[in-house]
Amino acid sequence: MRILLTNDDGIYAPGLRALRKELQKIGDVIVVAPATEQSAVGHSITLLTPLLVQEVFDDEQLLGWAVEGRPADCVKLALMELLPEPPDLIVSGLNAGSNAGINVLYSGTVAAAIEGAFFQRTSIAVSLEYTKPKLDFPRAADLARCVIEQILAHEPATGTLFNVNIPSLDKGPIRGIRTAAQNVAPYVEKFDRRVDPRGRVYFWTAPGLVCPDPHPDTDVTALAEGFITVTPLQFNLTHGAELEQMSKWRWQL
């Protein structure tokens, strides 16, 4: 099995390194990842600046390519220019920080997997809940491989897209794996307002985004309860029920 591995934390991130090691147990892994950290870039792509690409080696062996671009750029370039053959599987991660609820839309990690699905490749995003700067990526990567192997054992149709979140490993033992819908309840956010030495106003996005009232049986709640969550995703944003309603509208020009 040929596996393309990417992420949004950058090609030298420890999460990617740990996941690569685990994925090598189930296939040939080639990495195409951003040269630098690209967190919260969502589904950005690079249109107006060139995408510099550099081969990266791990000892003597080709690790893959570092791209001065976004996670979604990496997947596009990998599939269209860099890989000699299309991969059987695209994996994005292992991200330092969960990507559940509406954060799925901000996530560069998930966007890379969605980009893979655009190209009709089976794609899996994997993230680890963040609790402290030093995360146990090797253990999380082992759990990630365990989940990925089970997904593949069900032989999903090509182009199927999954979002996997692993709860913090500091909260106690993992309670199991649960299939869950994406939570869409709002988050509470804060900005920190400051004034610079020149009198200009600026804001910092404060950390600690919380979802005070998540919907039950969603990725956010299952993750909080200590389960690994698996959410199948799609990228058709059409609101079906609303579309049905609107088909009765009479438009005038």
- Say if residues 87 and 112 touch (Cβ distance below 8 Å): no
Q: Is 164 an interacting residue with respect to a second copy (CB under 8 A)?
A: no
Query: Which of residues 81, 158, 171, 210 is near a second copy by CB under 8 A?
Result: 81
Residues binding a second copy: number (CB under 8 A):
79
Q: Is 52 an interacting residue with respect to a second copy (CB under 8 A)?
A: yes
Q: Is 178 an interacting residue with respect to a second copy (CB under 8 A)?
A: yes
Query: Which of residues 61, 84, 201, 212 is near a second copy by CB under 8 A?
Result: 201
Q: Is 130 an interacting residue with respect to a second copy (CB under 8 A)?
A: no
Q: Is 251 an interacting residue with respect to a second copy (CB under 8 A)?
A: yes
Residue numbers 110-129 binding a second copy by CB under 8 A: 111, 114, 118-120
In the bound state with a second copy, the residue whose beta carbon lies nearer, of 24 and 234, is 234
3-state DSSP assignment of residue 207: coil
Min. distance of Cβ 238 from a second copy in angstroms?
4
Q: What is the dihedral of CA 118, 124, 127, 128, to 10 degrees?
A: 180
Q: Is 83 an interacting residue with respect to a second copy (CB under 8 A)?
A: no
- Say if residues 161 and 232 touch (Cβ distance below 8 Å): yes
Min. distance of Cβ 58 from a second copy in angstroms?
20
Min. distance of Cβ 24 from a second copy in angstroms?
21
Helix (H) or strand (E) run with residue 98 in it: none
Put residue 85 in one of left, alpha, beta given phi > 0 → left and psi -120 to 50 → alpha: beta
Helix (H) or strand (E) run with residue 105 in it: helix 103-106
Rounded (5°) CA angle 117-137-131: 100
Q: Is 158 an interacting residue with respect to a second copy (CB under 8 A)?
A: no
**Main-chain phi, psi angles of 94, to 5 degrees:** -85, 115
Stretch binding a second copy (CB under 8 A), from 13-21, 23-31, 84-92, 196-204: 196-204
In the bound state with a second copy, the residue whose beta carbon lies nearer, of 137 and 162, is 162
Rounded distance between C-alpha atoms, residue 63 and residue 65, angstroms: 7
Q: Is 212 an interacting residue with respect to a second copy (CB under 8 A)?
A: no
In the bound state with a second copy, the residue whose beta carbon lies nearer, of 47 and 216, is 47
Residue-level length of the chain: 253
User: Amino acid identity, residue 244?
Assistant: E
**Main-chain phi, psi angles of 158, to 5 degrees:** -60, 140
